[in-house]
Structure 1
């Protein structure tokens, strides 16, 4: 088990210039001498990339050229699944850090080139993709053959050497375009409203909202927040949801720390709103009624018989059939 040295940390904190902050992280920066990667804050502190995308971006930037950075390779390296890694790669591609281009090889086959740019903004300003030049393979020098003298036969002039083939001109590919950012978000769903905000509902809803901080310390709402969210809680109470059930729905599994408590409460009141309770008639099982055939008066003898349509009874129909025969 490794031995901890708290005194070393105390001495390092004492050597920091200036007063220490009352809260937040404190950095102890020790210069790296080997195995380090320079990462820009535009990636490490990106406001729109997810934490998984930032981590994968830093990991890819630290790898040497030629390393495999596909979904299968990253899934085998990290605990995240293929779907999360694929989504993170799409985020990096949408913001210009990752480029995937299809190129044609010398043998005519198509291949996908993955390029990671540590400064996509500078690359866009330059308007070009920087590709390392290809180094032609070295051709071994062959010593010239020794020519035997033949005085009796005149020597033929040497044939001119074949002209060297020109280097293949690389195919020009259009610059990789960064796809546009995500489409605008749909409008926010309105807060549920009760059919009638009675004084009793308003009082109970205000008490539930003000009491949330006793069950979740981070859910401290201002008076303005409580006044704005009262109709949403009243809609829940109007649908016969108990106060403890509302409190559990608003305080369970909160993010740590919740950055915007009022927005979290508003979102849960809107998205988790339960349907109204069904009535007794809706919950009663359907009763299958027996089929009743109405009574009809016979057009021939005026006797009653059961039939869906008026006409003759069975006896009169038999007489009519016999007379017709």
Structure 2
């Protein structure tokens, strides 16, 4: 949620939500730059037809016109006749260069689009999955608790409690192997001063339906719901508060000023005045 201010001055709360939060964790591919369409070719100017090279029939007529123009040039009378000029050579028209397409303009870089305000304020991913994906490696299960010392009394009491569960809860009918594996966990509960009724209530309350693996369920409850050991009498004692010594107020014998001191007497100014006066008396003597 991001607060935004409208042009009118009103402040609103803009909420952005996503139907697929996991898509935010994948890197986004940059969009391909869109090239602008090539401009249409410009029409040829009006002088273009004059530059077009002459066709084959026009080239063929050019030599025939040259002899016709030769007799028109009559040499002037004189003592030495002038040599006849060479037939005029009609200059061939050079082919016009092929029109070249106009150069394409440089492709402009895509405009920089600033990120939305809610993304600029949160450079880190907005969604962090709290539940690991199914392919994530699962941590190893916690081991079954064990007592500090498995005495014969604890072993017998734990075995009797586990064997008696099927009398009140038929779904918790355990095999002899399961009982021997779960005895250390029940013994750890009993060693921590847990009442047998409390242990039985914890193991038999709110069972799933159907119950497919009773031994695994009991192992999980004995491990996850293990109570802490009972505190000792010294742990329950309230620590004594440290005594704070308060220096009492005294009244100066000379100026009647109040000051703090464990014993009555003179204040600081009076003590300094007395010391200065005694020093002056010794100097004068």
Which range, TM-score by smaller chain? 0.3 to 0.5
**Could you state the TM-score of these two structures normalised by the residue count of structure 1?**
0.38
Structure with higher RCO (Cα < 8 A, 6+ apart): 2
**Could you state the TM-score of these two structures normalised by the residue count of structure 2?**
0.42
Larger Rg: 2
